[in-house]
Amino acid sequence: MTLYSDFADAIDAVLDKLEATGDLPGGLDRRNVAVEPPRDPAHGDLATNAAMVLAKPAKTNPRALAEKIAAGLGERSDVVSAEVAGPGFINLRLSPRTWITELETIRAAGAAYGRSQMGHGQRVNVEYVSANPTGPMHMGHCRGAVVGDALATLLEYSGHSVTREYYINDAGGQVDVLARSVHLRYREALGETIEIPEGLYPGDYLVAIGQALASEHGARFVGAPESEWLVLFRTRAVAAMMVMIRDDLALLGIHHDVFSSEAELQAEKLPEAAEATLRARDLVYDGVLEAPKGEVAEDWEPVELPLFRSTRFGDDQDRPIRKSNGSWTYFGADMAYHFRKAANADQLIDIWGADHSGTVKRIQAAVSALTDGKVPLDVKLVQMVRLLRGGEPLKMSKRAGNFVTLADVVREVGKDVVRFTMLSRRSDAQMDFDFAKVVEASKDNPVFYVQYAHARIRSLHRKADLLRHPGEGRDPSPDLSLLDAEELAIIQLAAQFPRVIEQAATSHEPHRVAFYLFDLAAAFHALWNRGNDDPARRFLISDNPAVSRARLVLADAIGQVIRNGLSVMGVAAAEEMH
């Protein structure tokens, strides 16, 4: 129960009453009725559009209806005034007591403030990262990893039952290339001088696997045909890569619940099952694709393949689920994979890089077809991150192997800075990550700014402990009515936190939490700085313990909300700045 849902209920009750007295026809759609803080504080503390939304279907004048609703709401003891404004807004002014009560609510709820049961335990599967197991995590994976993880936490926080899942692409051509690269390192370990040809993975992170295989199996695979060693080398290499990737993810505080293997999935014949289901509904047929548009493919030739009718779902082309050699396409296997995820979830979310945008429709189409539209799939596309250092783009080349690894970045700027920064932009917009700026101690840097606010709040306690006389305990029930209007105003902002969480969770947009925290931090800094002009308005005043205590409670509540918000983002709150 938040302040906002409380008033939403109150409005419902008033509307029910108006229906009972015949002032309002029954059965009106109230879904668009909203309770919001008005953008302009001069309009009061809360506003509702109820009268404007309902006036037309009720065939009445919005202002007249608003007057009736306002009268009903005005009867509440916590409503100081209920005024009709503009085209029919109802602006409510709440008693100071309301905000003091909310402050006490924050204090009592502590780390749980902002949590809700909005999700009603709905099962949500969030698949994120799913980087190919062919090397360490690099910065290209980072944003999706953080966004997916924060979204998962956000959904948990708002009452969903969340599974964090990683899909291991261990069945395609890339992992064969990996196996061949390891074979080369294996020969190297046996004393050969090797040269890594174009197209194989040059990274020296494969050296250790080659050595291990050499010491276990000796030279028996050196001149042997691929058929004798490929599977073994591939399995070992993928396992080693996954250990490395999990370690990298752990640096960011990311841990998945489930790792699904594409190879296992295929061994279990899940794609076959999905194909049969779709063929039975005439959604898969054997056909020939047109030549691809755009860049001319030299080796293209028309072949009959099993095709999924994704055009029925808005795709521009039907999509093959098997290759001409009978093996599964990535899409064919992925479709089966999503089918299985859907069996244990009420809702699926995938976090993908924006370079996969072209494949969204087909997979959504397949999920919709396989689940009869019962399990929605939201694919969140995360745009690219441009790496800069002091405004200059970092030069990178994957081929030369000098891409920036995630581990390097975390080591340089820290987990919290990486996570916060990755969440400080809408994920469907491109982002710059400037090594110089993200660690800058200035207002230009939201990470610092929010952390600084929290550190200031913590410093108050250290200071307050010094001010306290020996034997004098912490005051359990300070007189909060000593708080002034400006101080109550920040509670109003803090009270929006549960709403922000709900909205961020519903819209699958964790960045909203970051922006909110920045606003809250700004409000706190402003309050703090009043003390510069007027010493009587500082948080701690040595000759006025009563006011100091009340303000300390206020500061603590703000600190609590900042901590809660940061924890949703997976960022630790700073105790002090260095």
Residues 21-60 within binding reach of RNA (CB under 7 A): 32, 34, 36-40, 42-44, 47, 49, 52-53, 56
Residues 193 to 252 in contact with RNA, rule: CB under 7 A: none
Q: Say whether 438 sits in a helix, a strand or coil.
A: helix
Q: Which is nearer to RNA, 254 or 504 (CB)?
A: 504
The least distance separating RNA from the CB of residue 162, rounded to whole angstroms, comes to 18
Q: Candidates 180-188, 225-233, 236-244, 503-511: pick the segment binding RNA (CB under 7 A).
A: 503-511
Q: Least CB distance from residue 126 to RNA, whole Å?
A: 16
Q: Transcribe 235-302 into DSSP letters.
A: HHHHHHHHHHHHHHHHHTT---SEEEEHHHHHHTTHHHHHHHHHHHTT-EEEEEPPPPSSSPPTT---
Binding of residue 260 to RNA (CB under 7 A): no
Q: Which of 301, 372, 472, 543 binds RNA (CB under 7 A)?
A: 301
Copy the structure tokens of residue 170: 């261990």
Identify which of residues 214 and 569 has a Cβ nearer to RNA in the complex. Answer: 569
Which residues between 53 and 92 bind RNA (CB under 7 A)? 53, 56, 62, 85-89, 91
- Answer for which of 381, 439, 489, 493 binds RNA (CB under 7 A) is 381
Q: Does 572 bind RNA (CB under 7 A)?
A: no
Sheet holding 392-393, edge to edge: 392-393, 385-389, 431-434
Give the shortest CB-45-to-RNA separation in angstroms: 10
User: Of the candidates 331, 298, 327, which has an alpha carbon nearest to the alpha carbon of residue 317?
Assistant: 331
What is the distance between the alpha carbons of residues 18 and 54, in angstroms, rounded to a whole number?
12
Of 397-456, binders to RNA (CB under 7 A) are 425-426, 428-432, 441-444, 448-449, 452, 455-456
By CB under 7 A, which span of 105-113, 401-409, 469-477, 510-518 interacts with RNA?
510-518
Determine which residue in the list 414, 522, 567, 572 makes contact with RNA, applying CB under 7 A.
Answer: 522
Q: Which span sits near RNA by CB under 7 A: 137-145, 216-224, 354-362, 411-419?
A: 354-362
CB nearer to RNA: pick between 247 and 428: 428
Among 63, 123, 323, 468, the residue binding RNA under the rule CB under 7 A is: 323
Q: Give the C-alpha separation, 339 to 375, whole Å.
A: 10
Question: To the nearest whole angstrom, how small is the minimum distance from the Cβ of residue 175 to RNA?
Answer: 7
Q: Count CA atoms within 13 Å of residue 470 on its CB side.
A: 0
Q: To 10 degrees, the CA torsion angle through 421, 423, 426, 427?
A: 100
For RNA, the binding residue among 101, 503, 544, 567 (CB under 7 A) is 503
- Which amino acid makes up residue 69? I
Q: Which is nearer to RNA, 54 or 214 (CB)?
A: 54
Of 383 and 560, the one with the shorter C-beta distance to RNA is: 383
Rank residues 203 and 253 by Cβ distance to RNA and give the closer one.
203
**473 vs 464: CA distance, rounded Å:** 11
Interface segment toward RNA; rule CB under 7 A; list 64-72, 233-241, 264-272, 379-387: 379-387
Tell me how crowded residue 250 is: count the other CB atoms within 10 A of its CB. Answer: 11
169 touches 329 (CB < 8 A): no
525 binds RNA (CB under 7 A): yes
- For RNA, the closer of residues 89 and 339 by Cβ is 89
Shortest Å distance, C-beta 28 to RNA: 13
Percentages (nearest 5) of helix, strand, coil residues in the chain: 50, 15, 35
DSSP character at residue 165: E
Distance CA(284)–CA(269), nearest Å, equals 17
Closest-CA residue to 490 (of 540, 444, 538, 557): 557
CB of 249 to RNA, least distance (A): 18
Residue with Cβ nearer RNA (232 or 522): 522
Sign of the dihedral through C-alpha 427, 430, 434, 440: negative
**CA 555 – CA 490 distance, rounded (Å):** 10
Q: Are 460 and 452 in contact (CB under 8 A)?
A: no
Candidates 329, 347, 421, 560: give the one binding RNA (CB under 7 A).
329
Residues in the interface with RNA (CB under 7 A) total: 105
Q: Distance from CA of residue 298 to its chain's centroid?
A: 41
Subset of 262-291 contacting RNA (CB under 7 A):
289
As a whole number of Å, the end-to-end CA separation of the chain is 39
Give the type of residue at 147.
Answer: V
Among 231, 526, 536, 546, binds RNA (CB under 7 A): 526
CA distances from 173 to 137, 197, 199, 234 (A): 19, 17, 12, 11
Q: Can you tell me the distance from the alpha carbon of 97 to that of 12, in angstroms, rounded to the nearest whole number? A: 23
> Residue 2 carries which DSSP code?
-
Between 216 and 304, name the residue whose CB sits nearer to RNA. Answer: 304
Can you tell me the distance from the alpha carbon of 370 to that of 159, in angstroms, rounded to the nearest whole number? 27
Binding to RNA, residues 112-151 (CB under 7 A): 132
CB of 34 to RNA, least distance (A): 6
With CB under 7 A as the contact rule, which of the stretches 154-162, 166-174, 403-411, 564-572 interacts with RNA?
A: 166-174
538 part of the interface to RNA, by CB under 7 A: yes
Tokens at residue 244, please? Answer: 């490395």
Q: Which stretch binds RNA (CB under 7 A): 216-224, 241-249, 314-322, 395-403?
A: 314-322
Nearer to RNA, 190 or 482 (CB): 482
**Binder to RNA among 61, 215, 344, 529 (CB under 7 A)?**
529
Return the residues of window 473-502 that contact RNA according to CB under 7 A.
Answer: 499
HSE (CB half, 13 Å, CA atoms) of 482? 18
Closest to RNA by CB, 299 vs 472, is 299
**Is the separation of the CB atoms in 45 and 85 below 8 Å?**
no
Minimum distance between the CB of residue 277 and RNA, rounded to whole angstroms? 20
